[in-house]
Structure 1
Amino acid sequence: MTFTFRPLDPLKDAELLHAWVTHPKAAYWMMQDARLEDVERAYMEIAADEHHHALLGLRDGEPAFLMEHYDPVHRELVGLYEPRPGDVGMHFLVPPTDTPEHGFTRAVITAVMARLFEDPATARVVVEPDVANTAVHALNEVVGFVPDREIQKPEKKALLSFCTRERFFDRPGVPATEVAA
Structure 2
Amino acid sequence: MTHSQTNHSSPYLYVVEKSSPSALSIYSQINAWQIAKKIESKLKQKSIDDLEPIELGMMQFGHGDERRIIDDCNLNECGIQHFYIKSTEPLGNHYHKNKQEVFVIVEGKGIFTYLPLNHEGKPLGKQKTISVKKGNVIKVDPFTAHAFRLNIGSTMWCFSSAPFDQDNLDMHFFKLHIE
Same fold (TM over 0.5): no
* TM superposition score normalised by structure 1: 0.25
Q: Which has the higher contact order (CA 8 A, sep 6+)?
A: 2
**Greater percentage in strand:** 2
**Greater percentage in helix:** 1
Structure whose CA Rg is larger: 2
